[in-house]
Amino acid sequence: MEEVFAPGGLLAQHLGDYEHRPEQAQMATAVRETLKNGGQLVVEAGTGTGKTLAYLVPAVHSGLQVVVSTGTRNLQEQIFFRDIPLLQRYLGIPFSAAMLKGRSNYLCPLRLKKSSQMPLISNGRDTKHLDLIYEWAQTTQTGDRAELTKLPEDSPVWAQVCSTTDFCAGQKCPRATDCFIGRLRKEAEKAQVVVVNHHLFFADLALRERRAGSVLPDYQAVVFDEAHEVEETAAQYFGFAVSNYRLEELVRDTMRELDDLKPPNRPELLRDLDALDTRAKNFFGRYRRQEGEERRWSLKEHPPDAEAGQYVLDSLALLDTRLGSLDPLPDSARLLAHRAFSLREEMAKLMAHDNDDFIFWGEVRGKGVFLNASSMDVAPLLKNALYGSATTIFTSATLAAGGDFSFFCSRLGIENARTMALPSPFDYATQAAIYLPHMPDPKSPAFFDALAEEAVKVITLVKGRTLFLFTSFKGMYETRKRLEGRLPYTLLMQGEGARHALLDRFRDEVDSVLLATSSFWQGVDVKGEALSCVIIDRLPFSSPGDPITSARIERIKKNGGKPFVDYQVPEAVLALRQGIGRLIRHRTDRGIMMLADSRLRTKGYGKTFLSSLPPAPVVDKFERLRWEE
The DSSP string of 604-628 is TTHHHHHTTS-S--EESSGGG----
SS3 content of the chain, % helix, strand, coil (to 5): 50, 15, 35
What local confidence, expressed as pLDDT, does residue 171 receive? 66
393, 230 Cβ separation under 8 angstroms: no
Is 395's pLDDT higher than 90? Answer: yes
Is residue 565 domain-resident?
no
Q: How far is CA 596 from CA 252, 404, 600, 608, in A?
A: 50, 25, 9, 16
Is 340's pLDDT higher than 70? Answer: yes
What local confidence, expressed as pLDDT, does residue 120 receive? 64
Q: Exposed/middle/buried for 159, CB within 10 Å: 0-12, 13-18, 19+?
A: middle
Q: Which residues lie across from 533 on neighbouring strands?
A: 466, 592
Is 168's pLDDT higher than 80? Answer: no
* Secondary structure (3-state) at 360: strand
- Parallel/antiparallel/unpaired status of strands 432-435 and 591-595: parallel
| Residue 8: band (very low, low, confident or very high) from pLDDT cuts 50, 70, 90 | confident
Is residue 562 domain-resident?
no
Is residue 566 domain-resident?
no
| Residue 511: band (very low, low, confident or very high) from pLDDT cuts 50, 70, 90 | very high
Cis (ω within 30 of 0) for the bond into 425?
no
Residue 511 sits in the same domain as residue 606: yes
pTM of the model: 0.89
Is 245's pLDDT higher than 70? Answer: yes
CA–CA separation, 564 and 570 (whole Å): 9
Residue 211 sits in the same domain as residue 266: no
Dihedral class, residue 485 (left if φ above 0, else alpha if ψ from -120 to 50, else beta): left
Is 262's pLDDT higher than 80? Answer: yes
* Secondary structure (3-state) at 218: coil
| Residue 151: band (very low, low, confident or very high) from pLDDT cuts 50, 70, 90 | confident
209, 384 Cβ separation under 8 angstroms: yes
CA–CA separation, 515 and 251 (whole Å): 40
Quote the domain boundaries for residue 538. 428-542+576-624
Is residue 229 domain-resident?
yes
Q: What is the 3-state secondary structure (H, E, C) of 225-283?
A: CCHHHHHHHHHHHCCEEEEHHHHHHHHHHHHHHHHHHCCCCHHHHHHHHHHHHHHHHHH
Closest CA to 413 of 429, 443, 392, 442: 392
Is residue 312 domain-resident?
yes
| Residue 292: band (very low, low, confident or very high) from pLDDT cuts 50, 70, 90 | very low
CATH number at residue 334: 1.20.120
CA–CA separation, 313 and 321 (whole Å): 12
CA–CA separation, 124 and 146 (whole Å): 23
What local confidence, expressed as pLDDT, does residue 366 receive? 77
| Residue 567: band (very low, low, confident or very high) from pLDDT cuts 50, 70, 90 | very high
Is 377's pLDDT higher than 80? Answer: yes
The strand order across the sheet containing 432-435 reads: 491-493, 513-516, 466-469, 533-536, 591-595, 432-435, 618-619
CATH number at residue 456: 3.40.50.300
Say how far residue 249 (Cα) sits from the centre of its chain: 24
- Angle between helical axes of 124-137 and 109-117 (0-180°, round to 10): 140
Residue 256 sits in the same domain as residue 311: yes
Residue 77 sits in the same domain as residue 217: yes
CA–CA separation, 489 and 511 (whole Å): 6
Residue 259 sits in the same domain as residue 344: yes
Residue 367 sits in the same domain as residue 247: yes
- The 10 Å Cβ neighbour count of residue 625 is 16
What local confidence, expressed as pLDDT, does residue 113 receive? 85
What local confidence, expressed as pLDDT, does residue 280 receive? 97
- The 10 Å Cβ neighbour count of residue 602 is 9
Torsion of CA 491, 494, 495, 497, to 10 degrees: 70
CA–CA separation, 592 and 238 (whole Å): 41
453, 447 Cβ separation under 8 angstroms: no
Is the Cα torsion angle 293, 295, 296, 298 positive or negative in sign? positive
**pLDDT (average), residues 580-607:** 95
181 Cβ contact list (under 8 Å, min separation 6): 103, 106, 143, 163
Is 222's pLDDT higher than 50? Answer: yes
Residue 200 sits in the same domain as residue 313: no
* Secondary structure (3-state) at 6: coil
27 Cβ contact list (under 8 Å, min separation 6): 43, 45, 49, 51, 54, 55, 395, 420, 422
Is residue 278 domain-resident?
yes
Is residue 549 domain-resident?
no
CA–CA separation, 573 and 597 (whole Å): 13
Residue 412 sits in the same domain as residue 476: no
| 130 vs 177: which has the higher pLDDT | 130
- The 10 Å Cβ neighbour count of residue 446 is 10
What local confidence, expressed as pLDDT, does residue 89 receive? 94
Is residue 554 domain-resident?
no
134, 112 Cβ separation under 8 angstroms: yes
Looking at residue 519, its amino acid is S
What local confidence, expressed as pLDDT, does residue 119 receive? 64
Among 156, 181, 206, give the residue marking a domain's end.
181
| pLDDT tens figures, 59-105 | 999 999 999 999 988 899 999 999 999 999 999 999 999 999 888 88
Is 45's pLDDT higher than 90? Answer: yes
Is 294's pLDDT higher than 60? Answer: no
| Total domain count, the chain | 4
| Residue 290: band (very low, low, confident or very high) from pLDDT cuts 50, 70, 90 | very low
For the ranges 211-220, 429-438, 451-460, 467-476, the lowest mean pLDDT is seen at 211-220
Residue 206 sits in the same domain as residue 257: no
Backbone phi, then psi, for 432, in 5-degree steps?
Answer: -145, 165
Residue 506 sits in the same domain as residue 592: yes
121, 127 Cβ separation under 8 angstroms: yes
Q: Which of 120-124, 158-162, 309-313 is most confident?
A: 309-313
CA–CA separation, 546 and 372 (whole Å): 13
What local confidence, expressed as pLDDT, does residue 293 receive? 44
**pLDDT (average), residues 345-357:** 96
- The 10 Å Cβ neighbour count of residue 318 is 18
Among 365, 396, 422, give the residue marking a domain's end.
422
- The 10 Å Cβ neighbour count of residue 428 is 19
Is 291's pLDDT higher than 60? Answer: no
Mean pLDDT of the chain: 91
Q: How far is CA 557 from CA 373, 378, 608, in A?
A: 21, 18, 22
Residue 147 sits in the same domain as residue 260: no
Q: How far is CA 486 from CA 453, 537, 578, in A?
A: 10, 18, 29
Looking at residue 98, its amino acid is A
Q: Which DSSP letter does residue 224 get?
A: E
User: Above pLDDT 90, what percent of the chain?
Assistant: 70
| Residue 622: band (very low, low, confident or very high) from pLDDT cuts 50, 70, 90 | very high
Residue 52 sits in the same domain as residue 73: yes
126, 157 Cβ separation under 8 angstroms: yes
